[in-house]
Structure 1
Amino acid sequence: MDSVQNWSKKELVAYILFYAANSNLSETNKERNVILSKVDMNTYQMVYDEFKNDNDYQCIQKIVKGLETHDYSKSDLKQLFLDMKILFFADGEFDQVEHVVFNWLKRIINDAA
């Protein structure tokens, strides 16, 4: 994949959702389906390949850089947070780890955007 600055908003959203889905170290089929509802299969695979090769630090750096690159409106951020909540609830529960990661990502995203 190209550098983060060249990612589309959809690619960035998919990357953030992959990060969120893996926050409790188990990504379910339902969570994958949520991500697939946001992007086409080709984009999904490209972003997944990028994500699986990154460590936690690299993920956060890419998320922050991607958010700085795109001009997110309050409406865009509201939709992103909604997408994250939908993903977290996709498997039927919003566990404590997911809740902590959601709040942490929300803070990082608000600071970067």
Structure 2
Amino acid sequence: MSTKLQLKTNWNHEELKAYFFIYAMNADLKESEEELTLIKTKVSESIFNKMHLEFNSDNDYESIHKIKNTLQDLNYSTHQIQLLFNEMRDIFNADNDFSVLERNLALGLKRITD
């Protein structure tokens, strides 16, 4: 089995959104209560828990490729991707600390989704 196939998902839109937000929340290597609370208002608790478990078992390379491949598989438009990024910024700002690590992650994700 090729690496690309292993990094394919069968996620729906809510699962992608949850994983994307969990990935963003972990940019600064910490999960604040404010960030967790905000994400849980955007996706169901069961989806959050499922995707959090998957995120915890993935490395950075796997996470990036899963996000990129799923955006393509779900045919996300430029507008839909921009909406995800807008919500990601809300998560970064939830703990009132938009760190350099979070900025770098946002730039990196922007590059792979363009």
Query: After TM superposition, is the score higher than 0.5?
Result: yes
- Cα gap change, 1:32/1:86 in structure 2, threshold over 3 Å: closer, same or farther? same
Separation of aligned partners in 1, 2:36 and 2:15:
14
Larger deviation, residues 81-90 vs 70-79: 70-79
Instruction: Give the one of 31, 35, 49 matched to 1:27.
Output: 31
Instruction: Give the one of 56, 60, 64 matched to 2:60.
Output: 56
Any runs of at least 4 consecutive aligned residues in structure 1 with deviations exceeding 3 A, and if so which?
none
Uncovered stretches (5+) of structure 1, i.e. residues with no partner: none
CA shift at 1:81, angstroms?
0.8
TM-score normalized by the length of structure 1 = 0.88
- 1:8-28 CA distances to partner (integer Å, 9 max, x unpaired)? 111111111111111111110
Quote the sequence identity (%).
36
Tell me, yes or no, if the aligned pair for 2:9 and 2:66 is still in contact at 8 Å. no
* Matched positions, count: 108
Instruction: Give the one of 2, 14, 17 matched to 1:13.
Output: 17
The alignment's C-alpha RMSD in Å is 1.3
SS of structure 1 residue aligned to 2:42: coil
Who is 1:98 aligned against? 102
Separation of aligned partners in 2, 1:19 and 1:59:
8
